[in-house]
């Protein structure tokens, strides 16, 4: 009888821990993905500022992406003019060409596109992205 009570208490404890741990893990994963998207927007903004200065002076673009990251600049027609990334603008970049900062996922990679404006006109778009594995490694480290 005592053995059954101990076994039942153990099962209840495991179920209780799992009932709280799984939702917590989901919340943590969503938080990290959201945080990485925000970080990408900041990095794309930073690249846009650098690129805008180079474009206004008609110099070669000074772009240094981090290891494992994409960084590309697209002209107003959606053609890549510099960097690594798709040759033509995808939906994320098209949205940025309309003047909106756009975080999202493209081909399994987290990405963000930011417009580079000259007054009211969007001249080019800065797009930055990296693999979801970066995010998942941070999640596994946190748990």
What per-residue confidence (pLDDT) applies to 11?
93
| pLDDT tens per residue across span 70-122 | 778 888 888 888 777 777 888 888 888 888 888 888 777 888 888 887 666 66
Domain 2-142 listed as CATH 3.30.450.20: yes
Q: Which of 36, 32, 29 is nearest to 130 (CA)?
A: 36
- Percent with pLDDT over 70 in the chain: 80
Q: Domain boundaries in the chain?
A: 2-142
CB-based burial label for 90 (10 Å; 0-12, 13-18, 19+): middle
Look over the chain and give the mean of its residue pLDDT values, rounded to a whole number.
79
Q: How far apart are CA 45 and CA 34, in angstroms?
A: 17
| Model confidence band, residue 14 (pLDDT cutoffs 50, 70, 90) | very high
Q: For the CA atoms of 116, 100, 89, 69, what is the dihedral angle to 10 degrees?
A: 70
Query: Is the pLDDT assigned to residue 63 strictly greater than 70?
Result: no
State residue 121's pLDDT score.
Answer: 60
pTM of the prediction?
A: 0.69
CA 111 remoteness from chain centre: 4
Where residue 15 falls among pLDDT bands split at 50, 70, 90? Answer: very high
pLDDT value at position 12? 93
What is the spatial order of strands in the sheet that 109-118 belongs to? 80-84, 69-75, 121-131, 109-118, 102-106
């Amino acid at each position: 009888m005592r053995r059954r009570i101990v076994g039942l208490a153990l099962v209840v404890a495991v179920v209780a821990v799992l009932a709280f741990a799984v939702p917590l893990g989901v919340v943590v994963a969503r938080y990290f993905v959201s945080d990485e998207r925000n970080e990408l927007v900041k990095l794309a903004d930073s690249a846009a500022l650098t690129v805008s200065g180079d474009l206004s002076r008609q110099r070669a673009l000074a772009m240094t992406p981090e290891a494992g990251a994409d960084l590309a600049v697209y002209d107003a027609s959606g053609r890549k003019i510099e960097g690594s990334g798709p040759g033509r603008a995808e939906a994320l970049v098209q949205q940025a060409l309309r003047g909106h900062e756009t975080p999202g996922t493209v081909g399994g990679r987290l990405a963000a596109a930011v417009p580079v404006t000259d007054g009211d006109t969007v001249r080019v778009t800065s797009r930055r992205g990296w693999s979801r594995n970066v995010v998942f490694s941070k999640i596994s480290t946190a748990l």
